[in-house]
């Protein structure tokens, strides 16, 4: 990545910011409530809920990777920065000049547009940071997750393993991305 990601991103309803150690209790509570809901879609959720001490260690790893430009995991908070709603990230695991957006939403907060709004903000952030391609992928059966890139006008692509779909893949880039007024304005803080 050419530039260091933003320290926080603000929309009208959300604050996206790196986790802090003070977030461990809320992350732990989110996993107690959400592990069963997330497990079919996210491999790491099958091991949840993990003990609070492991959440603290995980957040320490998130912080280290963020500060050393390896991976960029953000918490999704309400606009007052008081209530954890989910998590997202910019993950450079998909090759040079490309970034993958991942997301999850606390079980009781689903179907409120949080994943879509946070993914829009993360896409805008990635493109501002001169990333050439933004990718969102999900398991083919995860229809709720698939609606996120569809609402953001990402282009459907394909990804398969041994002839059968492993993931559904959606992409956008600087020239294809369409601003959506509903999610503007955004405030990006370095």
**Per residue in 62-89, pLDDT tens?**
999 999 999 999 999 999 999 999 999 9
pLDDT at 51: 96
Question: Hey, what domains does the chain have and what are their CATH numbers?
Answer: 8-182 (3.40.630.30)
Q: How far apart (Å, rounded) are the C-alpha atoms in residues 170 and 151?
A: 11
pTM: 0.95
For 15-33, the pLDDT digits (tens) are: 999 999 999 999 999 999 9
- Between strands 98-105 and 133-138, the pairing is parallel
Q: How far apart (Å, rounded) are the C-alpha atoms in residues 190 and 8?
A: 7
Residue 2 confidence (pLDDT) above 80: no
Residue 185 confidence (pLDDT) above 90: yes
For 119-143, the pLDDT digits (tens) are: 999 999 999 999 999 999 999 999 9
Phi (first) and psi of residue 102, to 5 degrees: -115, 160
pLDDT at 163: 60
For 154-164, the pLDDT digits (tens) are: 999 876 555 65
For 43-59, the pLDDT digits (tens) are: 999 999 999 999 999 99
């Amino acid at each position: 990545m050419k530039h260091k990601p933003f320290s926080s991103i603000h929309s009208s309803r959300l604050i996206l910011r790196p986790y802090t150690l003070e977030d461990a209790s809320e992350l732990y509570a989110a996993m107690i409530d959400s592990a069963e809901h997330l497990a079919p879609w996210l491999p790491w959720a099958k091991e949840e809920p993990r003990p609070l001490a492991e959440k603290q260690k995980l957040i320490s790893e998130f912080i280290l990777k963020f500060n050393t430009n390896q991976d960029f995991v953000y918490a999704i908070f309400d606009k007052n920065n008081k209530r954890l709603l989910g998590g997202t990230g910019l993950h450079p695991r998909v090759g040079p000049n490309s970034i993958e957006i991942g997301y999850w939403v606390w079980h009781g907060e689903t179907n409120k547009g949080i994943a879509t709004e946070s993914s829009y903000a993360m896409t805008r952030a990635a493109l501002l940071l001169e990333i050439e391609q933004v990718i969102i992928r999900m398991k083919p059966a995860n229809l709720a997750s698939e609606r996120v890139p569809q609402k953001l006008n990402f282009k459907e692509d394909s990804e398969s393993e041994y002839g059968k779909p492993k993931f559904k893949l959606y992409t956008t880039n600087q020239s294809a991305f369409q601003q959506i007024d509903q999610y503007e304005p955004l405030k990006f803080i370095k």
